[in-house]
Amino acid sequence: MDEILTTVQEDIHYRFRQVKLLELALAHSSWANERGCPNESNERLEFLGDAVLELCVSQEVYGRYPDADEGLLTKVRSRLVKTGTLAEVARTLGLDRSLCLGRGEETQGGRGRESLLADSLEALFGAVFLDGGFAAARELVLRLLGPRFPETASSPPAKDHKSRLQELTQDLFRDRPQYVLAESSGPEHSKVFAVAVHLPDGQSFRAEGGSLKKAEQSAAALALAALRPRSGA
């Protein structure tokens, strides 16, 4: 567990004074319930982090788009804080691998569940807020979500990760990425798909999702993050 805690702190570039808060942020209710400690889950932190996230993003869009009316600001904020966006960020950070899940949730594909991943990211924001205050939480929120802010409030949503990755690999390697279904698991009503994306330079990235499309998008997001230094972005 100590290694996981260290890795998460390195990945978010924040060192906790109270590491117990980070442990709590990574504890899903299924894990806490199995151990007979239902109050030691991340649900309360998720509640707090949801409010912290909303305030941070609201403040940023208000200042970033001075000519936008309330309707446009609301649309931008909604795109940034929606479950799918937060789940993608959580996967990029590797939170899907760091969470403590109960056996039942684990076998049912909980690590690929978007709502669970989004909640865990909000819990992390809540933990940073309690540990370091609003400024620390805001810095983390904007660093993770900053690249997803549109140029203007009326700009269309950014291109999906697969489209962006294909354009980037064409520019860098004059070739396209290849997606391969590695495995699928779980019951029919709640399958989790694992997809690997292979880049022309030999690198491979793997991610999971509740559908093949979502898994491919998540794998593409990981590849984009790895290629960003070479792209100059």
In tens, the pLDDT along 179-231 reads 998 888 887 767 788 999 999 999 999 998 888 888 888 999 999 888 877 65
Mean pLDDT of 137-150: 91
Q: Where are the alpha helices (DSSP H) in 65-160?
A: 70-81, 83-93, 95-98, 103-107, 114-132, 134-145
Chain centroid to Cα 107, Å, comes to 21
| Residue 148 clears pLDDT 60, i.e. is over it | yes
pLDDT tens-digit map of 78-126: 999 999 889 888 988 888 888 888 888 888 887 888 889 999 999 999 9
Kindly state the percentage of the chain with pLDDT values over 90. Answer: 48
Q: What percent of the chain has pLDDT over 70?
A: 96
* Catalytic machinery residues: 50, 122
More confident residue, 54 or 99: 54
> Would strands 178-185 and 192-198 be described as parallel, antiparallel, or unpaired?
antiparallel
| Domains of the chain (ranges, CATH numbers) | 2-148 (1.10.1520.10), 161-231 (3.30.160.20)
Report the first-to-last Cα separation within the chain, whole angstroms.
Answer: 34
Q: Is the pTM of this model over 0.85?
A: no
Residue 157 has pLDDT above 70, yes or no: no
The backbone torsions φ and ψ at residue 211, rounded to the nearest 5 degrees and listed phi first, read -145, 165
Q: What strands, in cross-sheet order, belong to the sheet with 192-198?
A: 178-185, 192-198, 204-209
**The residue type at 89:** V
